[in-house]
Amino acid sequence: MQMKIVVIGANAAGAKAASKAKRVNADVDVMLIDRGSFISYGACGIPYYVSDTVTDIRELMSTPVGVIRDANFFKKVKGVTVRPQTEVIRIDRHAKLLYLRDSLTEEQATVAYDRLVLATGSSPVVPAIDNVSLPNIVTVKSIEDAHLLKQAAITGFNACIIGGGLIGLEMAEALRQRGMKVTIIEMQEQLLPGVLDREMAFLVEKQLRVQGVTVMTGCRVTGFSGKAIVEKVHIGEHEFPANLVILATGVTPAVELARVAGITLGTTGAIAVDERLRTSDPSIFACGDCCETTHLITGRQVHIPLGSTANKQGRVAGINVAGGDASFCGVIGTSILRVFSLNAGKTGLTETEARANGFDVETVLSPAHDKAHFFPGAKPIVIKLVAERMTGRVLGVQAVGEGVVDKRLDAAAVAITFHATVDQLSQIDFAYAPPYSAAMDNLIVAADIMKNKRDGQGRGISPEEVKRKLDANEEIILLDVRSPGEHLEAGIEGATLIPLGMLRERFNELPRDKEIIAFCKVSLRGYEAQKMLDGAGFTNTKYLDGGLLAWPYGLRAAYTI
């Protein structure tokens, strides 16, 4: 008898699982069920449709050659039967029956299965805030959301984005490109929590402000008000105008169907699966945003919903449900986004995450151009490297800048996955030519700085720690070792200028009983200054990690002469 495979959920994970199952075993009968009108679309592309970067919504629902991925496509090309606008209301695991309801006619039916794949995805978090159901308060999840957002993105109007995560920042760019006035409200003290550490997130925040976006961190929305549509956002006693509100407060795994059926949920609240993506029921698999997975660094279960993970898991689930043998070992949380002219992302653990998971870590900031500095188009990026202090194992890399960061993150992701140390990272044979990188790639430089730091040769201090010292009025000497011309352009208020080439002959101008922190644009000269001071007998010297390129706070304005 022909084996019947049913997949619930027809987007990234589900569509991939159904298609792969049929390719693995042409004899199986595969059915794909989804409660939506549109299937197999790229929700990650919605901000770019809203901004008009992608002008035709059908591009988000088509193959690379322009064929729409609809029910007819899946039937004729993939050999998969699709039932859109059909909701699965109950799973009877003992009888292996699905109870269905047609979204248009309300008619009910049953479908039998031999094996089942749950790819029910995730649902946007809608916070319990007064009047959150007012029109023009929108999530960013579906094709219907995309149409509504496009219509509501009116030049000159006010948009408020609740949540400063990946989707919130992508939507901020999209709406600014449409000419809207944009405010981001994030209840945590920084943007991109869980993606970037504070000092790296501040670099992104600076870019948003430059582009005219109002950023409010450490604020909690308490309500909305309006008549026909939303008109104001309330934060305590304060209110702000808003003709459009985007809820970008995260997602939660859509597991109610699984929970009612008695399928085990994991510690994250998502469906628990093994490496083969099998659930607690041997006949049922799960993939995508609805299930949890293992973090390859911490070994803990995590729920990190990303389209890339969903597609990889869909492939594995499709192979296994059709009788093959594949495994999905886990993730390290790699993510990336563009914020206007800035690129930002991370792989592995941030410093905050690493410490929270019990790691004793060392960190460095390393700014440099993404290609040879003399090559036209070279642009700066800042890398933050997080490593385990004792072993030197690379735990995480963050990168922010106008230059190319994705290839650094991808290379770091490989290194982290295979447990590389900073010593090994510094020796990797990366491709080099001036149009692509400096002779010493950014990652290699970051690894070498970390090696120096672990060997006690370099004593970098983070911008955040320097700012804390300044705010506390500690008696420190900020030593600017740039040229007089650079010093005139901009700098840190209160810094003492002694150009590096003159430092040896001016040692006597510096107090030996105070902490001296040297800096330049990228702190290469700052590090040289620290070593020179050490050699002259100064005992409390450091350099500013990352230099002025990594300094996320305000700078003194240029002097006028």
Active site residue ranges: 44
Q: How far apart are alpha carbons 206 and 68 in whole angstroms?
A: 40
Hey, what amino acid is at 464?
A: E
Hey, what amino acid is at 310?
A: A
Angle between helices 442-454 and 406-417 (to 10 degrees): 50
Residue carrying the six token digits 């000092």: 199
Residue carrying the six token digits 């490109």: 177
Q: Which regions of 26-162 does DSSP assign to beta strands (E)?
A: 29-33, 81-83, 86-92, 97-102, 108-112, 115-118, 122-124, 137-138, 158-162
**Could you give phi then psi for residue 169, rounded to 5 degrees?**
-70, -35
Q: How far apart are alpha carbons 503 and 436 in whole angstroms?
A: 35
Hey, what amino acid is at 31?
A: M
Taking Cα atoms as reference points, which of 247, 246, 303 lies closest to residue 270? 303
The DSSP element (H or E) to which 257 belongs, if any, is helix 256-260
Phi-psi label, residue 522: left if phi above 0, alpha if psi -120 to 50, beta otherwise: alpha
**Could you give phi then psi for residue 27, rounded to 5 degrees?**
-85, -10
From residue 333, alpha-carbon distances to 80, 304, 312 in Å are: 32, 7, 14
Hey, what amino acid is at 429?
A: D
Q: How far apart are alpha carbons 269 and 266 in whole angstroms?
A: 5
Hey, what amino acid is at 459?
A: R
Hey, what amino acid is at 268?
A: T
Q: Which residues, 6+ apart, have CB-to-CB distance to 56 below 8 Å?
A: none
* Residue 276 three-state SS: coil
Q: Are 315 and 326 in contact (CB under 8 A)?
A: yes
Give the residues across from 55 on adjacent strands. none
Q: How far apart are alpha carbons 423 and 444 in whole angstroms?
A: 9
